[in-house]
Amino acid sequence: MPTGSKISITLSRQLGSMGCEVAQAVKDRLGYRVVWRELINEAGKRSGTPELALDCIDDLGLLGITVPARYRAIYKQAMEEVMQELVEEGNVVIIGRAGQVILSGYPNVIHVQIIASHELRARRIAEERAIPLEGARAQVDASDRNRRLYLKRCYNARWDDPNLYDLIINTDRVTPQSAAAIIAKTVSMYTPTGTLSTF
């Protein structure tokens, strides 16, 4: 890694893909700060729409929050500002919230997508939350739908567009620790121009 460079990572993940575990492993390995809920809440406070932060967290739509479209635009703007400030600080893993789109083109940002097969994700959620597998499948479906819609509605982007990412890691067989090692290796190869040096 070039001296003085401040690399940041956006981490886009599916429910049950162990994305948060990967982020934690990256933190342990690189000492980066991990930002997730703080980002959501800060954007809510800045935009004066804290209920939208709650809406973002409500992945399953259980709270039934309705917010006028004009507030969503203000919140989106605040989110972008907070994200850009984080990248200026550097050494941060930003989880979710369309970071792969907002920060696309930033040479010092690596975009990572963490995926896993639908059935395995549902099994992980069922085990982690001690709920029936059928309910876990429904949670995975709802989460996928909401995250897909967020990117489409706010940025007219497709979550599963591989062009948005530098790395796509499938945790069906790759452990969070191995995923973090791959990400750390990529960070170490980054050059100030945003290209990767060779292995």
Partner 1 sequence: MSLPSNKKKLEFAHPSEEAFALILDYYGIEWQYEPRTFPLEWDENKQVLVAFAPDFYLPQQDLYIELTTLRPQLSSHKNRKIRRLKELYPEVNIKLFKRREMHTMMVKYGLDSEAERIRGSEAQEKNG
Tell me how far, at minimum, the Cβ of 72 lies from partner 1, in Å: 15
Binding mask 47-86 for partner 1 (x = CB under 8 A): -x-xx-xx--xxxxxxxxx---------------------
Binding mask 21-40 for partner 1 (x = CB under 8 A): ----------------x---
Positions in 114-143 near partner 1 (CB under 8 A)? 126, 129, 131-132, 134-136, 138-139, 142
**DSSP H stretches of helix in 48-175:** 50-57, 69-89, 99-102, 118-129, 133-155
Residue 18 main-chain phi, psi, to 5 deg:
70, 30
Q: How far is CA 76 from CA 14, 24, 27, 150, in A?
A: 21, 26, 26, 11
Tell me how far, at minimum, the Cβ of 122 lies from partner 1, in Å: 10
Tell me how far, at minimum, the Cβ of 20 lies from partner 1, in Å: 11
Cβ contacts of 44 within 8 Å, gap of 6 or more: 50, 51, 52, 53, 54, 56, 75, 78
32 contacts 86 by C-beta, under 8 angstroms: no
List interacting residues with partner 1 (CB under 8 A).
37, 41, 44-45, 48, 50-51, 53-54, 57-65, 126, 129, 131-132, 134-136, 138-139, 142
